[in-house]
Amino acid sequence: MSLRPVRRLIEAKPTLEGAGVRLRRTFGFGNTSEFDPFLLLDDFRNDVPDDYLAGFPWHPHRGIETITYVLAGTVEHADNRSLVLFDSGENVAVQAGDEGIRFLLVSGKPLQEPVAWYGPIVMNTQVQLQQAFEELREGTFLKPTVS
């Protein structure tokens, strides 16, 4: 059994997004290869509703799948706005202190594809990215669903 050693500990940074939503960004919009297949991780947790009620204006997505994870109730924590990036190995060991621990473990097989990214649109090349924005301007961005 080989435990996955911690490669890096990343503290989430305060960020404004959308129409002025205050959140904490753990990673995203930088070198994506280290987090492949994930592109972005934002933490919307907040005790001040006015910090996130502005929301996000309508915007399209292409080339990405968005996931929203919601916990009901309230959570008090001291540090969680942290990301532990593990290195290679087979297992992960987690040990809680006296007050317990709550965490989300995400894993995915790296895609190892080039990334061309601007806003909510992620493609493999700049040409594909430009084409997507041209389709958005022309009103042909949304494609009919084929069943």
**pLDDT digit string, tens, across residues 14-60:** 999 888 888 889 888 777 888 999 998 888 777 787 877 788 888 88
Confidence band of 76 (pLDDT split at 50, 70, 90): very low
pLDDT value, residue 115:
92
Burial of 121 (0-12, 13-18, 19+ CB in 10 A): buried
pLDDT value, residue 126:
96
Model confidence, pTM: 0.75
Average pLDDT over residues 110-133: 93
User: Does pLDDT of 84 surpass 60?
Assistant: yes
